[in-house]
Amino acid sequence: MDEWRAFLRYERVRIPGSFLKAGPGKWDGMLSRTMTPRKFSALYLLAGLAVSAYSQNSDGRVRVTSPDGNVVFILADAKTPNEAEPKKNGLRYAVDFHAKWLLDESNLGLKLQGSAAMGPQMHKVDVHTGQHDETYRIPVGKTSEVRDHYNSAVVDLADDAGRKMSVEVRAYDDGVAFRYLLPEQAGEKTVRIEKELTEFNYPKDATLYPLIVDGFQSSYEDEYQQRQVNGIHREWLMALPLLSEVPGAGWVAVTEADIENYPGMYLRKGDERNGLRAELSPQVDAQGKPGNGIAVETGPPVTTPWRVLMIGEEPGRLVESNIVLNLNPPSKIADTSWIKAGKSAWDWWSGEAAPSVSFKTGMNTATMKHFIDFASASGFPYMLIDAGWALANRKNAQDYAAVADITKIDPQIDMPELLRYAKEKNVRIWLWSHWTSVDKYVEQAFPLFEKWGVAGVKIDFMNRDDQWMTAWYRHVAELAAQHHLMIDFHGAFKPDGLRRTYPNVVTREGVMGKEYLKWSARVTPTHNTTLPFTRMLAGPLDYTPGAFGNATRAEFVARDKEPMAPNTRAHELALYVVLESPLMMVSDYPEHYAGQHDFEFIKQVPVTWDEIRVIAGRPMENITVARRSGKDWYVGSITNWDARTVKVPLSFLGEGKYTAEIYADAADADKVATHTEFTKQEVDRDTALEVKMAPGGGSAVWIHPESRD
């Protein structure tokens, strides 16, 4: 009883003493006389009476509860009274986590062209409930097996004009998701959606970590910020995922899943003091400019993407989640044996560096062979040949990117010889292509690439997520799968879980990665500690680590040739564990790794995993991630510009003794960023490692059983 009262005081909900004396058995009958729906919901949650998959109490609200009973999605319709704000009685929802409000009542609905909004006048007609629990395997990812376990409800709605709509809800232990289902309306053969009415209202002033973009046509390449929701300007457009901390309640990240025949979603400041509202990427013309005021134009029925709320007590729980994958349809590729994770040598980062080699470096056959040799000797399965291998107008980089023809080879590149040589060295080739060229030549290029034995295609510069472009992603993924080609989308919007349906889409960019250090100092340790809690929540990110020209903050200089990284060497190694990408670049020039013992960790570390544990961390501060591959564990820790010591308990280990091979910041790493200290020690599940990190530092650990079966 004391726990109930403490919660109710925190939420400023006053419960009459008669309720506490009467007990839950009489609450339903007493509701209409003295209690608001909010008080009623609070008592039900506190008493543990909302742990069933679905409930529809006398207040008229529909509740969908997670399997563990901790997450509750509460749906109210236009006939459900809102006693706090009587004018706001439309279709709306709220989310409760551990008996605390994570999202307050927030509007739902759609605005179709030429008609009144669907939502404000909608009332419940029927409810269909369900449960689901399966475990499936994926060829590459943060876990080899994924459990898809949720309770669900489809709430059928209608208004007095006879228009119909449904809201489908799934409640997981690690979040909730909902989407709109719009059937064919009487006499309407085309659906034109102007906007969504979807809101995300926090119960109090939450802390946000937004990526603020210039517009809907964005590469998502910028720093994340830390802002209070009350400090968000109305004109700011925020990309997803958007992480937030609700004081005293938990962490929640807004993103979306299964975008099909629909544009991407963004967020702006809403009308509520602590609220945000959805914005859809508008349709664009042939020049890429919006104009008709429409976001979606299609035939019925319409199923929108899932609006996803990833939820956890700590931000690390969100990093572990596979909810975005789970909200996508199963794989359409029957045989996925050809989809292989792996590290790749890469020419673009410093391919024109001038170490002591006997050839002129650049986009030519000799340089590409040099990288193939490096990949082969290092045990890497791939070599990515980036922009420049195709014949094009070379007046400037922008013109080149716009007209690159992916079927015509630059005279400096002997592609048949490179393909032959790579095969001899047991290395497969990835090829860069501009998206406009793929769009123009895909029917010819993909069969040709398959004939060549190319492993995959890095497709670049889309920088859009309007309805046409999101459909194009799926079209390309499907065609690529038909020709056994993997895909790395660059210049891309955030992942939406498409890789479950088409697991050949192994990674994508949509992030400000290492490349920016060639012309700026923007990719900082603070940025690196933020990415796992923000962009990476949506899925893998092609950030391209591997810089061995490490420098202190004071010594760093942005430069195109032989670029640096403003973090320690140990921090760089740890990125291979902290960040997720089944195609992981090894970015630096081969000679920069020669004779460096630290390179042994990069050669050893896997890029696809069986299990993940986030040990600790906060965005913009630090993170420690443990990942398992078979019986081996890898632990990566990184910090921002603050020196930091963290304890890493190894309780995730199995029984028995293990050997930990540790690459740590050396004692002078704050002055010489390339210096590391390598040690070995015996550990077991009772061990707690003490990780000392220099400013911008880190630690990378490989833990393996002492005796192998």
Q: Is residue 700 part of a domain?
A: yes
Q: For residue 34, what are the contacts with CB-CB under 8 A and spacing of at least 6?
A: 16, 18, 19
Contact 255, 310 (CB under 8 A): yes
414 and 478 share one domain: yes
195 and 296 share one domain: yes
Q: What is the biggest distance separating any 2 CA atoms in the chain, rounded to whole angstroms?
A: 90
Q: Band the pLDDT of 55: cuts 50, 70, 90.
A: low
Mean per-residue pLDDT, 503-527: 98
Rg of the chain, C-alpha, whole Å: 27
Q: Is residue 12 part of a domain?
A: no
Query: What is the DSSP code (8-state) at residue 3?
Result: H
How confident is the model at residue 186, as a pLDDT? 81
| pLDDT surpasses 50 at 185 | yes
**Residue 29: φ, ψ to 5°:** -70, -25
Contact 296, 211 (CB under 8 A): no
Within 10 angstroms of residue 214's Cβ, the number of other Cβ atoms is 8
| pLDDT surpasses 80 at 14 | no
How confident is the model at residue 87, as a pLDDT? 58
Return d(Cα 502, Cα 519) in angstroms, integer: 35
Q: Is residue 506 part of a domain?
A: yes
Helix, strand, or coil (residue 235):
coil
Strand order in the sheet with 583-586: 505-508, 486-489, 456-460, 428-434, 382-385, 342-346, 583-586
Residues in the chain: 709
Q: Band the pLDDT of 355: cuts 50, 70, 90.
A: confident
How confident is the model at residue 406, as a pLDDT? 60
| pLDDT surpasses 70 at 279 | yes
418 and 546 share one domain: no
Query: What is the DSSP code (8-state) at residue 290?
Result: B
Domain boundary among 452, 477, 510: 510
Q: Is residue 192 part of a domain?
A: yes
Residue 452 in tokens: 């060549």
Residue 291 in tokens: 């104009």
Q: What percent of the chain has pLDDT over 70?
A: 88
Q: What is the DSSP string of 20-42?
A: HHH-GGGHHHHHHHH--HHHHHH
Mean per-residue pLDDT, 141-161: 97
Within 10 angstroms of residue 34's Cβ, the number of other Cβ atoms is 11
296 and 343 share one domain: no
312 and 346 share one domain: no
**pLDDT tens, 254-265?**
999 999 999 999
How confident is the model at residue 321, as a pLDDT? 98
**pLDDT tens, 421-454?**
999 999 999 999 999 999 999 999 999 999 999 9
The chain-wide mean pLDDT, for the chain, equals 90
| pLDDT surpasses 80 at 602 | yes
Q: Is residue 27 part of a domain?
A: no
Domain containing residue 159: CATH number:
2.70.98.10
Return d(Cα 512, Cα 492) in angstroms, integer: 11
How confident is the model at residue 353, as a pLDDT? 80
541 and 677 share one domain: yes
255 and 354 share one domain: no
Within 10 angstroms of residue 271's Cβ, the number of other Cβ atoms is 10
| pLDDT surpasses 70 at 552 | yes
130 and 107 share one domain: yes
- Whole-angstrom CA distances from 629 to 144, 162, 423 are 9, 55, 27
Q: Where are the alpha helices (DSSP H) in 16-124?
A: 17-22, 27-34, 37-46
Within 10 angstroms of residue 390's Cβ, the number of other Cβ atoms is 23
Q: Is residue 16 part of a domain?
A: no
How confident is the model at residue 53, as a pLDDT? 63
CA terminus-to-terminus distance, the chain: 54
Q: How many domains does the chain have?
A: 3
Mean per-residue pLDDT, 118-123: 94
How confident is the model at residue 82, as a pLDDT? 72
**pLDDT tens, 216-227?**
999 999 999 999
42 against 300, higher pLDDT = 300
State the Cα torsion 682-685-690-692 to the nearest 10°.
Answer: 90
Q: Which of 278, 285, 289 is nearest to 239 (CA)?
A: 278
State the Cα torsion 594-597-599-605 to the nearest 10°.
Answer: 150
Burial (0-12, 13-18, 19+ Cβ within 10 Å), 270:
buried
Range of the domain at 352: 329-510
How confident is the model at residue 278, as a pLDDT? 98
**pLDDT tens, 473-485?**
999 999 999 999 9
How confident is the model at residue 401, as a pLDDT? 40
Domain boundary among 296, 326, 356: 326
| pLDDT surpasses 90 at 501 | yes
Return d(Cα 540, Cα 591) in angstroms, integer: 28
Q: Is residue 289 part of a domain?
A: yes
| pLDDT surpasses 50 at 211 | yes
**Residue 288: φ, ψ to 5°:** 80, 20
Distance of CA 585 to the CA centre of its chain: 18
Mean per-residue pLDDT, 276-294: 88
543 and 468 share one domain: no
156 and 123 share one domain: yes
Domain boundary among 326, 347, 372: 326
Q: Is residue 684 part of a domain?
A: yes
Q: Which of 203, 178, 204 is nearest to 62 (CA)?
A: 178
397 and 305 share one domain: no
Return d(Cα 77, Cα 286) in angstroms, integer: 41
Q: Which residues of 582-613 are buried (b: 16+ CB within 10 A; e: fewer)?
A: bbbbbbbbbbbbeeeebbebbeebbbbbbebb
- Whole-angstrom CA distances from 264 to 196, 242, 306 are 12, 14, 11
485 and 540 share one domain: no
How confident is the model at residue 16, as a pLDDT? 41
Return d(Cα 669, Cα 568) in angstroms, integer: 7
Domain containing residue 660: CATH number:
3.20.20.70
Return d(Cα 374, Cα 386) in angstroms, integer: 16
